């Protein structure tokens, strides 16, 4: 990935979060744009959305973001000057949930190892 693409990814991520915070404060309280990946030609992009709450809440917020995608795109175009503004696709970022689950499993393994050591002494 080129430096330009990395900078564009970071800029779009920062602006998306800012748009959600300033224009949609109450609806976007539990929503964070965790990562943006744009194609090298800047025609298409993916915004990964993390939502605080259960799976049902995450799906609801994703539908909401997709419903206001045109408005977000217009605001992004006003804030960022690029030859081509990427068409953004919004996707749920499930990596935080997986990381949390992995941490729980690691804690459980550690507890089992401790209890095995204590019972073996």
Alpha-carbon distances of 22 from 16, 26, 50, 85, rounded to whole Å: 10, 10, 18, 21
CATH class label, 3-94 = alpha beta
Q: What is the pTM of this model?
A: 0.75
pLDDT score of 107:
78
pLDDT score of 119:
72
pLDDT tens for each residue of the chain, 121 residues long: 789 899 999 999 999 999 999 988 888 888 899 999 999 998 999 999 988 888 888 899 999 999 999 999 999 999 999 888 999 999 998 776 666 667 777 778 888 888 877 776 5
- Domain limits of the chain? 3-94
């Amino acid at each position: 990935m080129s430096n330009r693409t990395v900078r564009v990814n970071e800029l779009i991520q920062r602006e998306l979060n800012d748009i959600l915070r300033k224009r949609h404060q109450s609806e976007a309280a539990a929503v964070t744009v965790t990562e943006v990946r744009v194609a090298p030609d800047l025609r298409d992009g993916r915004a990964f959305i993390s939502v605080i709450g259960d799976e049902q809440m995450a799906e609801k917020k994703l539908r909401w973001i997709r419903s206001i995608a045109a408005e977000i795109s217009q605001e992004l175009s006003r804030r960022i000057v690029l030859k081509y503004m990427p068409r953004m696709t919004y996707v749920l970022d499930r990596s935080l949930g997986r990381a949390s689950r992995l941490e729980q499993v690691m804690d459980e393994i550690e507890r089992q190892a401790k209890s095995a050591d204590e019972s073996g002494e």
